[in-house]
Structure 1
Amino acid sequence: MKRQRGHKARLCLTPAQALAAEEQGHAARAMWNLVHDWWTMLPEERRNLAAADTAIRQGRRDLPWLGVLPAQAAQAVLKTYFQAWKNCWEGRAQAPNFKGRSRSRMAVDIPQGRDLQIVRLNRRWGRMWAPKIGHLLFRWTKDLPVGKRADKENRVTGARLVKEADGWHVVFRVQSDVPGPAPHTGPTVGIDRGITKPLALSDGTFREHRPWLSSGEAERLRRLEKTKERGRRARKPGERNSRRLKRTYDQIARLRATAKRRAVDWQHKTTTEIAGMFSRVGVEDLAITHMVRSARGTVETPGRNVRQKAGLNRAIAAEAWGRTVTMLEYKSADRGGSVVKVPAPNTSRRCSACGFITPGSRETQARFVCKNPSCGFEANADTNAGRNIDHAAGQAVSGRGDFGIARSAKRQPPTQPHAA
């Protein structure tokens, strides 16, 4: 079967190459905004790809500064914009909007893989070609299907240059032909996601991590945040940010990028281990966007415990639960397993041994003791929730739907033995 994957590598650019890449990134953002204005001003019957392509070609002739963007990269901007509207029409995303200079990430597409001219120089470094920039060095951390190893089924189909807080990166689009996975024969597991215990498995084990930033880095981030707020208060309304304030913003962004990079690394390693061990992974179908909404309320009905809720929202966002599930889904599919999403209500309140929900069973945040006189099951509260998720995953057919019993039922006996 054909498999499409992305591979991200860090670029090592000279000052001239970095300047050229930034000019192309700004031109690509401006091209998006021009296409957006042109598209929204036209009547619906005149909106089509052919007319947009003609407008882009005319714009590149009329505006010389758009010429720094290669023609294929400009066409990629148009295709991406049109795909954004298709995603909106099909209900998968919101409508595309204007890209602000400070709120958008600079990116330049290289849609044709044959233009990249990828060569491995040594064990650590590779070289690629970027139109109107030249040969670029990148960190070689994964074997790519290039040279004699490349064919019609296994090749690099394109790339994108992306600027992040810690510098420029390249994301290769890699197509490979791999054999279909054999059915996974391992046990099943349920996973409860949380803050204190990031991942609690139904077999009684936990997957934990240290803080993403060391104590010194966290203190430095706190001081930079205070410096940023002082600079913002000193700035007059409508006045541009000073160079010092911009430098502070950049330092904060680099520290947060470091934390994210460590978090993604831990998630990749942990999900790879779980996908290799278990044939079926059950997770709660959480509406995370609703969970991290602010508690401020309105002027008429102000919210309560706003600061505490804000802290909880930051903790949930730092764990990136959705990204963990996304990684589990494609890694489990590659290994012949599956990920099943089950309804979240009562997974932490129901006893995983007898199936009853009795008041007061959740004695503390970390301890579950069943109050059913004929049961008395005791376990870690997160482990109990993981066991319930695993039981429900055996019956679930879709997320946020019923899985064989009524939602109002007070008892859900396990239908299969736990795979601990």
Structure 2
Amino acid sequence: MELVKQTRAHVARLDLSAAQVAVLDGQAHTARALWNLLHEYFTFRQGRLASVKDCDEAIRAARHEIDWMGQLPAQAAQAVLRTYRQAWANFLNPDHPAKRPIFKSRLRSRMTVDVPQARDLQIKRVNRRWGAVNLPKVGRVRFRWTKDLPGLTKGGPAGRITGARLVKEADGWHIVFRTERQVPAPLCHPGPQVGIDRGITVALALSDGTTREHRDWLTGGEKEHLRRVEKKSARQRRARTPGQPTSKRLRRTYDQIARLRAKAKRRAVDWQHQTTTELASAFGVIKVEKLLIANMLKSAKGTIEHPGVNVAQKSGLNRKIAGEAWGHTVTLLEYKTRDRGGQVVKVPAPYTSQTCHRCGHREAANRDGTTFACRNPDCGWIGHADTNAAININNADGTAVSGRGDLGVTRSAKRQPPRAA
């Protein structure tokens, strides 16, 4: 039986003391500052690009000369260098959607610390609910044990842990274990083919006439709470003296907003995982539209010379599209169908919602909201507009994808090698 390597990530919440949180916060800020120093050193160094050796020597010198740089573990500092170099490699890869590496802002960047060597973790299970892990310069920390990790539980899944990454979310610090397993190569999925139309009114409409829908990510009470704290933050910002640091009260209000939005995000991701697992298990070939979501989310406000129209309506539409996370749904489908021997195919998006799947008549007036009524007098098919679009997607030819992105993406003119100042 042929075996293939399967890499996955497992996220667990850490149980930290206030002192340990302060240590991790300091390490994360140091890692961000190191990224910015590397970016400056790499791109603006005496008329030439710095090599990996130059960057490594600069990091070692900085750790000896700058006191606060030493609070970041040496392995984590080397991981920042590898991540930075990989960011450039992704940007220069014509098949990768990554953008050019830039400086990281203190307020807008995600706080992370890498633990690249699994031997430093020394993971043990404490009881049914908790496990314990060693974190460099932090000490022994408990984490929620919600799933057996490969190679650690007797009778559990075989494999090993290759490293971890510490990530700070709105509800605290989490650890992301990188796991590796050898699993049997998947056989060809015997399931049928289906087309999926992603929408707002109906989250996922399938060509077989079924739909996959969800409730609002926040309850009525939680929405009202979010509205109140957002109004409170607006009042506090108006009372704030320009140029002065953010007050503790305003920071607490920001934290309340972040926790509510993080709760909505967790519920959305949970629904996406459950739904995509069910779809990947049921269907062998899944066809979806090839959407340029970033372009769909652009603002309609325009310029002073050419102001936009219906700006508020477009802003509301953008929020709804972003809330559905269409791209993440397809990303989950890609690896889950691949694990089960299936395939995801992306098809061209234009006119799938205006074309009748029965007779092929295309007209913008065919669709009125969620109702599709073919204007061809010889056809006259009437049904749900999203179901009609899903059938058109299922009947269209497309390009098979695996991992991230389309296999036939052309190189962007903006993807140029970095230049020295």
Q: Is the counterpart of residue 396 in structure 1 residue 401 in structure 2?
A: no
1:174 equivalent in structure 2: 179
Q: Is the counterpart of residue 366 in structure 1 residue 367 in structure 2?
A: no
Q: Is the counterpart of residue 22 in structure 1 residue 30 in structure 2?
A: no
Answer 1 or 2: higher relative contact order, Cα 8 Å, separation at least 6.
2
Letter paired with 2:276:
T
Greater mean alpha carbon deviation, residues 30-39 or residues 270-279: 30-39
In structure 1, the residue corresponding to 2:242 is in which secondary structure? coil
Q: Is the counterpart of residue 343 in structure 1 residue 348 in structure 2?
A: yes
In structure 1, the residue corresponding to 2:365 is in which secondary structure? coil
Q: Is the counterpart of residue 69 in structure 1 residue 50 in structure 2?
A: no
1:119–1:146: 8 Å Cα contact kept in structure 2? no
2:41–2:50: 8 Å Cα contact kept in structure 1? no
Once the two structures are TM-superposed, the CA of residue 398 in structure 1 deviates from its matched residue by 5.8
Distance between the aligned counterparts of 1:46 and 1:344, measured in 2? 41
2:104 equivalent in structure 1: 99
2:43–2:49: 8 Å Cα contact kept in structure 1? no
Once the two structures are TM-superposed, the CA of residue 379 in structure 1 deviates from its matched residue by 1.4
1:292 equivalent in structure 2: 297
1:358–1:372: 8 Å Cα contact kept in structure 2? no
Q: Is the counterpart of residue 312 in structure 1 residue 314 in structure 2?
A: no
1:87 equivalent in structure 2: 90
1:405 equivalent in structure 2: none
| Change beyond 3 A, Cα 1:79–1:160 | same
1:418 equivalent in structure 2: none
Q: Is the counterpart of residue 36 in structure 1 residue 45 in structure 2?
A: no
2:132–2:140: 8 Å Cα contact kept in structure 1? yes
Distance between the aligned counterparts of 1:383 and 1:264, measured in 2? 24
Distance between the aligned counterparts of 1:263 and 1:209, measured in 2? 9
Distance between the aligned counterparts of 2:339 and 2:139, measured in 1? 36
Q: Is the counterpart of residue 48 in structure 1 residue 58 in structure 2?
A: no
Greater mean alpha carbon deviation, residues 112-121 or residues 33-42: 33-42
Greater mean alpha carbon deviation, residues 234-243 or residues 182-191: 234-243
Once the two structures are TM-superposed, the CA of residue 41 in structure 1 deviates from its matched residue by 2.3
In structure 1, the residue corresponding to 2:133 is in which secondary structure? strand
What is the TM-score of this pair, normalised by structure 2?
Answer: 0.91
Greater mean alpha carbon deviation, residues 382-391 or residues 82-91: 82-91
Distance between the aligned counterparts of 1:358 and 1:286, measured in 2? 21
1:115 equivalent in structure 2: 120
In structure 2, the residue corresponding to 1:82 is in which secondary structure? helix
Residue number among 141, 147, 170 corresponding to 1:142 in the alignment: 147
Distance between the aligned counterparts of 2:398 and 2:256, measured in 1? 46
Deviation by residue 1:169-205 (Cα, 9 ceiling, x = unmatched): 0001111111111111111111111111011111111
Once the two structures are TM-superposed, the CA of residue 361 in structure 1 deviates from its matched residue by 2.0
2:409 equivalent in structure 1: none
Letter paired with 2:391:
R
Q: Is the counterpart of residue 383 in structure 1 residue 387 in structure 2?
A: yes
What is the TM-score of this pair, normalised by structure 1?
Answer: 0.91
Letter paired with 1:396:
G
| Change beyond 3 A, Cα 1:203–1:64 | same
Deviation by residue 1:295-331 (Cα, 9 ceiling, x = unmatched): 0000001000000000000000000000000000000
Once the two structures are TM-superposed, the CA of residue 146 in structure 1 deviates from its matched residue by 3.0
Q: Is the counterpart of residue 59 in structure 1 residue 31 in structure 2?
A: no
Pairwise CA RMSD of aligned residues?
1.9
2:223 equivalent in structure 1: 218
1:221–1:252: 8 Å Cα contact kept in structure 2? yes
1:342–1:389: 8 Å Cα contact kept in structure 2? yes
1:410 equivalent in structure 2: none
Once the two structures are TM-superposed, the CA of residue 372 in structure 1 deviates from its matched residue by 2.1
1:407 equivalent in structure 2: none
1:202–1:384: 8 Å Cα contact kept in structure 2? yes
Once the two structures are TM-superposed, the CA of residue 148 in structure 1 deviates from its matched residue by 6.9
1:359–1:371: 8 Å Cα contact kept in structure 2? no
| Change beyond 3 A, Cα 1:302–1:154 | same
Distance between the aligned counterparts of 1:387 and 1:223, measured in 2? 43
Q: How many residues align?
A: 397
1:272 equivalent in structure 2: 277
1:70–1:132: 8 Å Cα contact kept in structure 2? yes
Once the two structures are TM-superposed, the CA of residue 33 in structure 1 deviates from its matched residue by 1.6
Greater mean alpha carbon deviation, residues 119-128 or residues 47-56: 119-128
Letter paired with 1:141:
T
Greater mean alpha carbon deviation, residues 124-133 or residues 313-322: 124-133
Once the two structures are TM-superposed, the CA of residue 12 in structure 1 deviates from its matched residue by 0.8
1:212–1:262: 8 Å Cα contact kept in structure 2? yes
Residue number among 183, 195, 217 corresponding to 2:200 in the alignment: 195
Deviation by residue 1:256-307 (Cα, 9 ceiling, x = unmatched): 0000000000000000000000111110000000001000000001000000
2:357–2:388: 8 Å Cα contact kept in structure 1? yes
1:192–1:284: 8 Å Cα contact kept in structure 2? yes
| Change beyond 3 A, Cα 1:150–1:79 | farther
| Change beyond 3 A, Cα 1:301–1:150 | farther
Once the two structures are TM-superposed, the CA of residue 122 in structure 1 deviates from its matched residue by 1.8
Deviation by residue 1:61-120 (Cα, 9 ceiling, x = unmatched): 001111111100000011111111222222532222221211111111000111111112
| Change beyond 3 A, Cα 1:71–1:358 | closer
